[in-house]
Amino acid sequence: MSLYTPTLIIGAGPAGLAVAGRLRKMGLTFEVVEQSNQIAHSWQNHYDRLCLHTVKQLSHLPHLPFPEDYRLYVPRLDLVKYYENYAKTFKIEPHFNESVNQVKKENNQWVTTTKSGKTYISDNVVVATGVNRVPHQPSWEGDNIYKGLVVHSRNYKNPTPFKAKRTLVIGMGNTGAELALDLAEKGVDVTISVRSPVTFVPRDVGGRPVQITAKLLEKIPFGFGDWLGTQIRKIVIGDLTKYGVPMSKIHPAVQLKETGKTPVIDLGTVEYIKNKKIGIVPNIKAFEANGVLLENGEHQTFDAIILATGYRAQLDDFVENVENELDKYHVPKSPIALEPSNKGMYYVGFDNYKLGGILGTIFNDSESVAKDIKGNQ
């Protein structure tokens, strides 16, 4: 079975919705395929306490601000309701349970095949599957002999399964830091394994969102804004090396660009570390039957381990000839394909290297993509 559409959007998360909303506003025709059975599947299934770390006025999708009664940092369930309402408002009706097998170019058109046996022929393809498509689960020596509970952060919901379990969180990105906080607040004995230097940024200072302050500091000339931001972090966060946390000496924006590591937005984890309610250990060398061997030679016992080890986009799993479009982090270099042979291919929801957050990037990139699609009609 084949279906022609001028534009095929792969993914009905916020990136796919943003492009669809803009195209609908322009009066352009499109179809959306979604591998799950729901809008914004990842957000539907994230951990219970999750709220946006970015302020609502800088996090909504095109043409539809969040409702006025929504909190400044929108909770997960409210965000899901917003995305579902967005789809209804712009009459976005995805083909659900359509997992893409392959996207390739034939005779100057894109041919997308799905596991259900359908084929979509299109002039344009917007890949909106996101950087968090595939959970990354590293391997360690001895990880097959560990007897405790091991879960990837994608499958974490709340502290209930971890009560009375000494728990290790591997990885201190935003997810690892927040899950550790979630556990500690419920009295779970929790420790974080920190694998590399960390940059903490407070979410708020004096009741004011740092995201808004940072945008104002960007306008200050001669690098004074960056210097002032560094002084604020020193005062609010302080030096955590005495608690075992290696601190990055690179400015957050530079770190994000050069290493791909997002600064950790602190929601309270730092205070719990300082009060020794969250333990810190170095990187893991090996798993043991009842715990882990650390790189410093120390053995520690844990009943449960949460892998906050991130995700991979893995576009080359299903998009043909995509390799030259990807940067050193294996995500697209640009929202609009750079290779002439890939004309009509777009990528939205992958540029996570801006301090404004992924939703702000989706807002901007979806505009560039929609304008380019319209210009090529």
Same domain? 156 vs 112: no
Same domain? 139 vs 125: no
pLDDT recorded at residue 209: 83
**pLDDT at residue 287 tops 70:** yes
Are the C-beta atoms of residues 23 and 63 closer than 8 Å to each other? no
pLDDT recorded at residue 356: 62
Mean pLDDT (whole number) for 140-151: 96
Q: Is residue 376 classed exposed, middle or buried when 0-12, 13-18 and 19+ CB atoms within 10 A define those classes?
A: exposed
pLDDT recorded at residue 181: 98
Same domain? 59 vs 148: no
Could you give the number of structural domains in the chain? 2
Q: In which domain, by residue range, is 71 found?
A: 2-133+313-375
Same domain? 113 vs 212: no
Confidence class of residue 35 from pLDDT cuts 50, 70 and 90? Answer: very high
Cα 88 off chain centre by:
25
Are the C-beta atoms of residues 248 and 199 closer than 8 Å to each other? yes
CA-based radius of gyration for the chain: 22
Classify 202 in phi/psi space as left (phi over 0), alpha (psi -120 to 50) or beta. beta
**pLDDT at residue 253 tops 70:** no
Q: What is the mean pLDDT of the chain?
A: 91
Residues 6+ apart with CB under 8 A from 88: none
Same domain? 273 vs 148: yes
Q: Which two tokens stand for residue 322?
A: 């995509």
Q: Buried (b) or exposed (e) across 111-150, using 16+ Cβ within 10 A?
A: bbbbeeebebebbbbbbbbbbbbeeeeeeeeebeebebeb
CB-CB neighbours of 166 under 10 Å:
17
Lowest-pLDDT choice from 37-41, 252-256, 372-376? 252-256
- pTM score above 0.85: yes
CB-CB neighbours of 220 under 10 Å:
13
CA 3, 6, 7, 12 torsion-angle sign: negative
Beta-sheet strands, E only, within 27-73: 31-33
pLDDT recorded at residue 50: 95
pLDDT recorded at residue 224: 45
Mean pLDDT (whole number) for 77-99: 98
Residues 6+ apart with CB under 8 A from 90: 17, 20, 21, 24, 25, 63, 64
Domain-ending residue, one of 307, 333, 353: 307
Same domain? 117 vs 140: no
Same domain? 104 vs 228: no
pLDDT recorded at residue 20: 98
Question: Three-state SS for 210?
Answer: helix
Domain-ending residue, one of 307, 332, 366: 307
Same domain? 333 vs 252: no
**pLDDT at residue 111 tops 90:** yes
**pLDDT at residue 154 tops 70:** yes
Helix axes 224-236, 210-217, angle to 10 degrees: 150
pLDDT recorded at residue 206: 79
Are the C-beta atoms of residues 58 and 356 closer than 8 Å to each other? yes
Same domain? 235 vs 329: no
Same domain? 127 vs 140: no
pLDDT recorded at residue 148: 96
Lowest-pLDDT choice from 57-66, 101-110, 199-208, 213-222? 213-222
Classify 212 in phi/psi space as left (phi over 0), alpha (psi -120 to 50) or beta. alpha
Same domain? 163 vs 287: yes
Domain-ending residue, one of 265, 285, 307: 307
Of all residues in the chain, what percent carry a pLDDT higher than 90? 77
- Spatial separation of the C-alpha atoms in residues 142 and 117, rounded to whole Å: 41
**pLDDT at residue 257 tops 70:** no
- Spatial separation of the C-alpha atoms in residues 42 and 61, rounded to whole Å: 16
More confidently predicted of 352 and 50: 50
- Please write the tens of the pLDDT for every residue from 39-48: 999 999 999 9
Torsion of CA 55, 365, 229, 238, to 10 degrees: 70
Same domain? 85 vs 170: no
Residues 6+ apart with CB under 8 A from 114: 33, 98, 99, 100, 101, 120
**pLDDT at residue 258 tops 90:** no
* Secondary structure letter of residue 41 according to DSSP: H
| CATH code of the domain in which 317 resides | 3.50.50.60
Are the C-beta atoms of residues 24 and 328 closer than 8 Å to each other? no
Contacts of 151-156 with CB under 8 Å at 24 or more apart are: 151/304, 151/305, 151/306, 151/307, 152/306, 152/307, 152/309, 153/47, 153/179, 153/306, 153/307, 153/308, 153/309, 154/45, 154/311, 156/47, 156/306
